[in-house]
Structure 1
Amino acid sequence: MRRILFPILAAATALTFRRRMLTWGATAEEVAAEYPGDSLVPAPTGRSTMATTLPAPPEAVWPWLIQMGTERAGWYSWDLLDNRGRPSATRIMAQWQQLDEGDRIDTSPDGKLYFTVALIDRPRTLVLRSDIEISRGRSFDPRGPLPRVFAAGIWAFHLTELPGGHTRLVVRTVGHSGPRSLMALPDRLIGEPAHFIMQLRQFTNLRERVVANPAPSTENASTIGARPR
């Protein structure tokens, strides 16, 4: 009997923890909701919804998000892992406040890996898209044929203003990778835990930064992140 029960209990525990990991901090309504950008990834093979409440209005959180990137403000996570050990910025940097749909945000110093800004709606929605050819270790154009082994998906930030000048930040990922015979196990054992660890750290560091920096004035907030015409 024990030989039967132990693997069943172990599998149930792993499944429960995985579900918790993929929905950390999010309400049932947030997990079930559809957000802008979700439909950009057809036939998804993975999805997560993590959320936190930040003690600042969306206009004060937004500038931190749009200046993210390698050779920019960093990612506010574990810098040794995702920013070559360079500390992420601790203040708003004016030179990195311009961002439009179609812009690239490098994730490697050589520019071989990058996010593309898929959707942007200031200061509510920022959707970053990543399409990686695994064998070559570089991004590819999703408008062309899919590489033999690939990982594609979005990393999306959705901001909602709460009473008291706070922000509800929901981070949604939707991914599609293949072939599944090769990618299913790495996605489950590496990709999902890595995102969980890095996103939790980013939540913590964003909270520290918005607390340490006062919200911009209403006049300035309306233009932050807009590219001069």
Structure 2
Amino acid sequence: MSEQRPEAGRRPFGVAAVSLVLYGAFLRPRVLTWGATHEEADRDFPGDALIPDADGCSTMATTLPAPPDAVWPWLQQMGCNRGGWYSWDRLDNGGRPSARHIVPEWQHLEQGQHLHSLPSGDAWFTVAVLESERTLVLRSQTKLPSGRPFDRLDEPPPRAYVDSIWGFHLRPEPGGRTRLVVRARARSRPRPVTRPMDVLFWEPAHLIMQTRQFHNLRARVSVTA
């Protein structure tokens, strides 16, 4: 019986290592800056200072065929048990379809308000920065591994947690259009555990969900513009 060479057993690990290097060098930068210009990716946005020592940051952008005053109502009514998130509803809205029209009772936001991130209401985003028709920054602070929120800023964070922002920044474009730039920043601990999850799962997942939201927002504002 022939013995398996040690090199054969190490080959899958070598392939995996090379794949990770190539992903980090060529694909990951595109995942983190989908649709954004270099200027948009490099600049500071309102709300960035909430996570001053972020472990990760992404900037994604699109141009919508409607002015900011027509885009803003769709953003203002986001949230589970409200207008939804306009992304893959089975994944982030409990299977409930996101709103396809503007609902007047959801057109009131205040700084500090909670927007449910789960239909159960057990987790939420907090409205951290709000400037009508220009900026909406949502903050999520969750314990790990439970995913339960913590938002006592006057106390030290738990030993395992994620503190993140999801910011929507609008500016008018020629032709009655809107440039929508979405900035995400996060800090998480313990980093040896959360970094692999960020790179291999959360960053690609955010790209999938965010581009779907862009697509659905474009369809909605096209109808109402």
In the superposition, the TM-score normalised over structure 1's length comes to 0.88
Structure 1 unmatched runs, 5+: 215-229
Which position in structure 1 is the counterpart of 2:164?
Answer: 153
Which position in structure 1 is the counterpart of 2:124?
Answer: 114
Which position in structure 1 is the counterpart of 2:199?
Answer: 188
Structure 2 unmatched runs, 5+: 1-12
8 Å Cα contact 2:72/2:133 also seen in 1: yes
Partner of 2:21, secondary structure, is helix
Of 150-159 and 136-145, deviating more is: 136-145
Give, in angstroms, the shift of residue 147 of structure 1: 1.1
Quick check: which has more Rg, 1 or 2?
A: 2
Give, in angstroms, the shift of residue 5 of structure 1: 9.8
Which position in structure 1 is the counterpart of 2:104?
Answer: 94
2:95 maps to a residue whose letter is G
Give, in angstroms, the shift of residue 190 of structure 1: 1.4
Which whole-Å deviations, capped at 9, do the CAs of 1:100-119 have from their partners, x for residues lacking one?
10100011123221000000
d(CA) in 2 for partners of 1:195, 1:203: 12
8 Å Cα contact 2:114/2:124 also seen in 1: yes
d(CA) in 1 for partners of 2:18, 2:165: 34
8 Å Cα contact 2:62/2:180 also seen in 1: yes
Identical-residue share of aligned pairs (%): 52
Which whole-Å deviations, capped at 9, do the CAs of 1:15-64 have from their partners, x for residues lacking one?
31110010000000000010000010131000000000000000000000
Segments ≥4 residues shifted beyond 3 Å = 3-10
Aligned residues: 212
In the superposition, the TM-score normalised over structure 2's length comes to 0.90
d(CA) in 2 for partners of 1:186, 1:13: 15
Using a 3 Å threshold, how does the CA distance of structure 1 residues 109 and 5 change in structure 2: closer, same or farther?
Answer: closer
d(CA) in 1 for partners of 2:222, 2:48: 30
Which position in structure 1 is the counterpart of 2:41?
Answer: 31
d(CA) in 2 for partners of 1:147, 1:111: 21
d(CA) in 2 for partners of 1:135, 1:107: 16
Which position in structure 2 is the counterpart of 1:71?
Answer: 81
Using a 3 Å threshold, how does the CA distance of structure 1 residues 142 and 26 change in structure 2: closer, same or farther?
Answer: farther
8 Å Cα contact 2:94/2:118 also seen in 1: no
Using a 3 Å threshold, how does the CA distance of structure 1 residues 7 and 138 change in structure 2: closer, same or farther?
Answer: closer
